[in-house]
Amino acid sequence: MTKAAVQVSNHRRIATVETALPPGSTPKGARGRILNAALRLFADRGYGGTSVRDICAEAKAQATTLYAHYPSKEHVLAEIIQLAHDDHHRRLRDALMTAQPDPREQLVALVRAHVLSHCEYSMLAVVATAELHALSEAMAMPILSLRAQSERLLVDVIERGIKQGVFAVPDTYLALRAIGGMGLRVSYWFSPDCGRTPEQVAEVFSEYARRIVGVMPKG
Amino acid sequence: MTKAAVQVSNHRRIATVETALPPGSTPKGARGRILNAALRLFADRGYGGTSVRDICAEAKAQATTLYAHYPSKEHVLAEIIQLAHDDHHRRLRDALMTAQPDPREQLVALVRAHVLSHCEYSMLAVVATAELHALSEAMAMPILSLRAQSERLLVDVIERGIKQGVFAVPDTYLALRAIGGMGLRVSYWFSPDCGRTPEQVAEVFSEYARRIVGVMPKG
DNA sequence: AAAGAACACAAACGTTCGTTATGATTTTCA
DNA sequence: TGAAAATCATAACGAACGTTTGTGTTCTTT
């Protein structure tokens, strides 16, 4: 029998409340507290549903302190999303570079890194995907180009797998969307209480990704 | 070779701008115009980023006309999300009832209906999934229970497939999340200009779902 | 001890928010 | 035709919004 599914039925956008910014990426002092507070509130209520006063109250700072570190509320969101995409892209590249040159191994490495990132920093992932539209086009542009690079990594692996005859995919673009999409959604439902560790989710999802591209199950 | 991927690189939350409410579900008169306008704006800017005046301007109605039909802005969102879930759930049930009793056929039918719904009414789907958290817990409750029923439909099919030995899934809950998640994301990237018809996307994604649960490719 | 950065605190700016009130005008339908 | 419902038009309410200014206070580093 499979494991029981523990799913709390609340209407929160995100299941977990634990992790926030990656430790190395947190500025110290009030700026770091503001960044973390904004991340928590943006993840929970969305950018439009969070006021500057809310952020500073959560950060135990004065309402005007935010403007000592950021020119505007939008710049806070921009820094969070940029940071999220930087970290995500770095993990994908690291995974790809330490993997065996076999496309099957590279696919597993990419999906593992993708899923782990969305488990461990789910708030970051939710804000990065769900609140990007709140950014002006000028501020969203560099982030979109980085996102396109990340997608390119997966597309390249799929296309090489097809060329080598180890993958059988009816539509490369739709495989990208399917694999990417099921990983993106992880950040919404995953929590430490869901009965699975991030590693277990990554393991199972990378197996699902192998199946999507037509690689036969290992066992 | 696979088809070229046509992906416009803008920072809009949703790719399409065409379809709005299902024709049968649109009230007539100003109420219907307001509901459609709210749907469009909520999909594009989010609930918190849309004002009542924006909605009524888009609906070519007076700013106060909204309150002749709804007690509050939140009730407009609630009606949209309720309507979205009702329509989605009905399509899932219809698909399940007209499918062969084989779990493999039922899985394909469910995923097809799921994907088609998210292609044809992508605005509705985006608002229903991305803006539910803006609803108070009391108003979100009935919607959450309906959503749980919809998920139950897929879980039951997967479990029956496992019991009959036609599916091989390492984790039922994670299969639900993977299949459901890749379908949910369709509403964000699909557009009539993406080079694929909704039927083609549904066809390919139902094949991917078959593969996830361990059914061998048809060909 | 001096200097400069970081932060707290308070007051206020102009704007927009969701919402209500009142009254005239149009449309719908029996 | 007449009554009832829907819509328009205008004004306004208090509250909250993002943001600015200015003045103190605390901390870090030299």
Q: CB–CB of A2 and B133 under 8 A? A: no
Task: Report angle CA A108, A112, A118 to the nearest 5 degrees.
Answer: 150
Higher pLDDT, A20 or A85: A85
Q: How confident is the model at residue B19 (pLDDT cuts 50, 70, 90)?
A: low
Which of A167, A185, A188, A190 is the mutation pick for testing B, counting most B CBs within 10 A?
A185
Angle, CA of A115, B172 and A192, to the nearest 5°: 45
Q: Is the CB of A29 under 7 A from strand C?
A: yes
Nucleotides of D under 7 A from a protein CB: 6-11, 16-22
- Residue A170: strand, helix, or coil: coil
- Determine the residue type at B45: R
* Interval B71-88 mean pLDDT: 96
- Which ranges constitute the DSSP H helices of chain B? 30-45, 52-58, 73-97, 103-120, 122-130, 137-163, 172-184, 186-189, 198-212
Residue position matching structure tokens 């329509």: B87
Is B154 within 8 Å of B110 (Cβ atoms)?
yes
Give dist(CA B114, CA B93) in Å, integer. Answer: 11
Question: Tokens at residue A204, please?
Answer: 């199972």
Gap between the terminal Cα atoms of chain B: 17
Average pLDDT of the segment spanning B54-65: 92
Yes or no, beta carbons of A133 and B186 under 8 Å apart: no
Contact across the interface for A182 and B186, Cβ inside 8 Å: no
Query: Does residue B58 lie within 7 Å of nucleic acid chain C, judged by its CB?
Result: no
Q: Interior CA angle at A195 toward A6 and A80, to 5°? A: 95
Q: What average pLDDT does range A188-209 have in this prediction? A: 96
Tell me, in Å, how far CA of B64 is from C1' of D3?
24
Residue indicated by tokens 């999220």: A84
Interchain CB contact of B158 with A (< 8 Å): no
Contact A138/B at CB under 8 A = no
Sequence-ordered alpha helix ranges (H) in A98-120: 103-120
In contact, A38 and A56? CB cutoff 8 Å: no
- Distance CA(B213)–CA(B206), nearest Å, equals 11
Mean per-residue pLDDT for A74-81? 95
Overall size of chain B counted in residues: 219
Q: Encoding tokens for residue A15?
A: 């299941």
CB contact (8 A) between residue A212 and residue B214: no
CB of A159 closer than 8 Å to CB of A122: no
DSSP label at residue B24: G
CA–CA dist A186, A176 (Å, integer)? 16
Please report, as a single letter, which amino acid is at residue A14: I
Give chain A positions within 8 Å (CB) of B13.
132-133
pLDDT band at A40 (very low <50, low <70, confident <90, very high): very high
Predicted local distance difference test score (pLDDT) of residue B136:
94
Beta carbon pairs, A and B, within 8 Å:
152
Q: Which residues contact B46 (CB under 8 A, 6 or more apart)?
A: A46, A47, A48, A133, A134, B13, B130, B131
Dist. CA A214–CA B216, nearest whole Å: 9
- In A3-55, beta strands by DSSP E: none
Is residue A69's pLDDT more than 50? yes
By Cβ distance, the residue of A170, A196, A214 closest to B204 is A170
State the Rg of chain B over Cα.
19
Tokens of A106: 């590279």
- Measured CA A187 to C1' C5 distance, in angstroms: 38
pLDDT tens digits along B159-217: 999 999 999 999 999 999 999 999 999 999 999 999 999 999 999 999 999 999 999 64
Protein residue closest to D21, using CA and C1': A64
What percent of chain A has a predicted confidence (pLDDT) above 70?
A: 92
Cβ-defined contact of B170 to A12 (cutoff 8 Å) = no
Q: Which of A162, A176, A214 sits opposite B217 (nearest CB)?
A: A214
Cα separation, A53 vs B85, whole angstroms: 35
C-alpha A213/C-alpha B200 separation (Å) is 17
Taking only Cα atoms into account, the Rg of chain A, rounded to an integer number of angstroms, comes to: 19
- Cβ pair B13:A189 closer than 8 A: no
Cβ neighbors of A14 (< 8 A, separation 6 or more) are A43, A44, A122, A123, A126, A187, A188
